[in-house]
Structure 1
Amino acid sequence: MKMVAKKHYSIREIYRITYDAARTRRFMAGTNLGRDKQFTERIMLAVTEVNGCELCSYAHTRFALEAGLSDAEIRSLLGGLSEGVPDHQIPAIAFAQHYADTGGHPDSAAWQNILDVYGEDEALSVLAAARIMMWGNAVGIPLSSLRSRLKGAADPGSGLGYEVATILGSTVVTPFALLQALVSVKRRAAVAPAASKDVVAGR
């Protein structure tokens, strides 16, 4: 079934999403989530379902199958459900969906719940996975829309001007977002979601 884009991010939003993903990525290293490819792909598919990135759904369906997820579970996750997801991973999936649904600004209670359930290290790895997939979706949606347009099936929620401008614009702003993220890491800036009151300090 063809996935339809549910969100269309601006260049300014893509800059922020790129910045957040880049400065948080390191927290996946050495954690249970970082070692568990199935867990990672569940989060990626959950975020992709919320945003509706067709190219990402294709890619991560393949990655999920390679990681050992069943066809039924993949269809469930791409349908916004969590059938087949291990109980201990459901809070992370729900948070990832909420993170994407709020455009990367989850409420403080949702973030605090992840901290309470998983502890700081694992919570940050869940946040990192969600942010990485948000970046993939944000840049992948205009690419998906343009690809569909060239095939004669234009995205009704998109326009050629948006697609071209966003693809080119994201290419321009990405190096600056990555540079800002590097500076942020060096300065040990906070990395928790902006809406959270309980900010976890960067390390």
Structure 2
Amino acid sequence: MNIKEKHKIRNIEPEFGKNLYSVRESYWIFYKGIRTMKYMFEAKRKKELSPKFIERIMLAVTEVNGCEICSYAHTKRALESGMSNEEIKNMLSGIIDDVPTNEVAAVLFAQHYADTRGNPTSESWQRIVDIYGISKANGILGSIRSIMIGNAYGIAWSSFFNRLRSRPDQRSSLLYEVSMMLGIILTPISIIHALISDLFRIPIIN
């Protein structure tokens, strides 16, 4: 499947979803990630998700969001998990031909999740639950939301350091980068918010 076909299936324009996340969006990305990250670790411990599976999901999300620093970090982790250079290169180019058949639905959902800026359709989520079962589906969601945290903040940091090297990200501005860095002070509030939501059993996805 080439990148043009992939975007046709996702029913979006190729650049949609690559706009920078606002401080407000980043707060909710962090909140959702904190609430579901544990399911990724649990699924990995129960061997429902292999390291390769998790890295494919994370590379798929990173490709949509266009995070340079995350691409570098997860390329290294993907290689360590046993993925080939060619598959990693394809994933970061939006080509999923090398993805095992039983993982394709999860990878496409990961792309959809990032495309919709963390607001997937209820039908797409239900399909993941139907295919993989609730435990594995929650692990997939936890993997997606974990890398969404990295992408949201990683893009700002990447843009800032590239600016210092006279290679500014055309999507970004110095004001945006500084506001995102300062926005990190909201993370303790987000963690408390997540813990309270767990305490009151608020659904992890609507």
* TM-score after normalising by structure 1: 0.89
Same amino acid, percent of matched pairs: 47
Superposed counterparts of 1:22-101, under 5 Å: 22-31=34-43, 35-101=49-115
Cα distance in 1 for partners of 2:170, 2:48 equals 37
Superposed counterparts of 1:131-150, under 5 Å: 131-150=145-164
Cα distance in 2 for partners of 1:24, 1:124 equals 7
Cα distance in 1 for partners of 2:59, 2:195 equals 27
Partner of 2:9: none
Partner of 2:3: none
Cα distance in 2 for partners of 1:34, 1:153 equals 41
Q: Unaligned regions of 5+ residues in structure 2, if any? A: 1-14
Deviation at 1:31, TM superposition (A): 2.0
Residue-by-residue CA offset, 1:142-170 (whole Å, 9 max, x unaligned) = 0010111111111111111111111111x
Deviation at 1:35, TM superposition (A): 4.8
Partner of 1:8: 20
Deviation at 1:30, TM superposition (A): 3.3
Match of 2:131 among 117, 127, 138: 117
Partner of 2:195: 182
Deviation at 1:6, TM superposition (A): 2.5
1:132 match: secondary structure: helix
Cα distance in 2 for partners of 1:34, 1:143 equals 33
**Alpha carbons of structure 1 residues 179 and 128: separation in structure 2 relative to 1, 3 Å:** same
State the one-letter code of the partner of 2:180: T
Q: 2:49–2:139: 8 Å Cα contact kept in structure 1?
A: no
Cα distance in 2 for partners of 1:121, 1:16 equals 23
- How many aligned positions are there? 189
Cα distance in 2 for partners of 1:190, 1:6 equals 27
1:173 aligns with 2:179: no
1:69 match: secondary structure: coil
Cα distance in 2 for partners of 1:125, 1:69 equals 20
Report runs of 4+ in structure 1 exceeding 4 Å deviation.
32-35
Deviation at 1:34, TM superposition (A): 6.1
State the one-letter code of the partner of 1:174: T
Q: Unaligned regions of 5+ residues in structure 1, if any? A: 195-203
User: In angstroms, what is the RMSD of aligned CA positions?
Assistant: 1.6
State the one-letter code of the partner of 2:187: T
